[in-house]
Each structure stands twice: as structure tokens, then as C-alpha cells.
Amino acid sequence: MVSFFYMASCSKKDSGSLENNPTPVKFSIPQGWPAPVYTFAENPLTEEGIALGKKLFYDGILSKDGNFPCASCHQQTSAFATFDHDLSHGFNGQFTTRNAQALQNLAWMKEFHHDGGINHLDVQPIAPITAPNEMAETLENVLKKLEADATYRSMFKAAFGQEKPSTASMTKALSQFMLTMVSSESKYDKVKRGEATFTLPESLGYENRYCVMQAV
């Protein structure tokens, strides 16, 4: 199960605080996990940045015809993946060339896409947004649409201090939201923490996992 895993700062903004003074959010590392590879210093998590990224993730405004948000392929009910088609669907009913991968534990990943062709989370969204068989849009048009929307201008101001969106602020907001998708409460995680035990079939499957991997 993928959960939104982060801890808000204990301090709250005063009602008179500036709109572009975002509220810091602490990224919480699950017990026993290694340090993330994502550089949070270059894109610190904030409540406003995460909220903006979430709105962008579910909004078709990033696609050419408004019908293909990130969430159309990365479906929340499917662990932010696509399971009901061999290939994900894109603009104008086209098939993409791959099946959308699940989005989870991205703070620990160095490479993205099935071929590892993208090496940083902040630039990953550019590929599906501009792919003609995915979201089929241009960055220029996306930014124009976002700037024309009063709600987005306000949210960009609150998160990054400027109403005018940029490619960097847009993708960093998406990263902030996606970084909260941490899978740390599965049966496997609980067993490893000593909070649960495998059933016999699960135990046999776990013990033989290396044989399966080698056979593949």
C-alpha cells in the first residue's frame, strides 16, 4: 500500500504571515530505511508546495486536451500505476509504448522510467507532458494555461514566492507531492519490523524469491 508519508512542522504560520512564506514539512524516513538520495535542500518540502503538486498531478491542464492528467495513468487505486491495460493510454486514444510504473519511494530512486533514461525526479514530468502519445502538450502552453488561472497564480505565489509559474517551479511542486508517496506499511515492512509474521505460503515465497529472480 502506498501512503502519503510526511510530517508537518510543529510550528504554524500566524494569520498575518506573508503568503509566500511557506510552511516547512519534515520528510520522515521510515524505521530501518536508508537515507534518501533526493536532494531536499534544493527543493524543501512545504505544505503549499505539496498542495500545488497534488493539484497539478490530478489536473488535466497539463495535457493538450485537458483529459490526461498524471493521475490518468498513475491511478491512485492501483498504487499509482496502471494495471488494467498492457500499455497505458495517451492523447487521442493512442497507446503509449509502456505501462506506467507505480509511483512510490521516489526519494530513494536515482533513475526513472523502465529504461532508467531520466536521472532526476524534478525533470521526469517533462517527458510525459511533451510526449505526443502521452499528454501531447508543450511546456510553453502549459505555463500559459497555468498563468491564466487565478487559483494557480495564488498557489505558485504561496509555494514559491512568484505568481508566474516556471518549468522549474511546476516540476518541483510535482516532485514535492510525489515524494510523499512512501510505501512503508506493507505486510513485508511489518514483518521486517517484527510487527507481523508471514503465513506459510508467504514464507515459502519469500525464501524462494532468489530462485525466481535467477530463472527470469
User: Could you read off the pLDDT of 149-171 as tens digits, one per residue?
Assistant: 999 999 999 999 999 999 999 99
0.85 exceeded by pTM: no
Q: What would the grid cell of residue 160 be?
A: 514559491
Q: How many CB atoms lie within 10 A of CB 76?
A: 13
Confidence (pLDDT) at 37? 96
Sorting pLDDT into bands at 50, 70 and 90, what band is 4?
Answer: low
pLDDT tens sequence across 55-90: 999 999 999 999 999 998 888 777 787 777 777 777
How many alpha carbons lie under 13 Å from residue 7 in its C-beta half-sphere? 8
Confidence (pLDDT) at 14? 43
Rounded mean pLDDT of 126-142? Answer: 95
Close Cβ partners of 3 (under 8 Å, ≥ 6 residues apart): 181, 182, 183, 184, 185
Distance of alpha carbon 156 from alpha carbon 169, whole angstroms = 8
Please report the domains of the chain, with CATH numbers, ordered by start residue. 3-185 (1.10.760.10), 192-216 (no CATH)
Mean pLDDT of the chain: 86
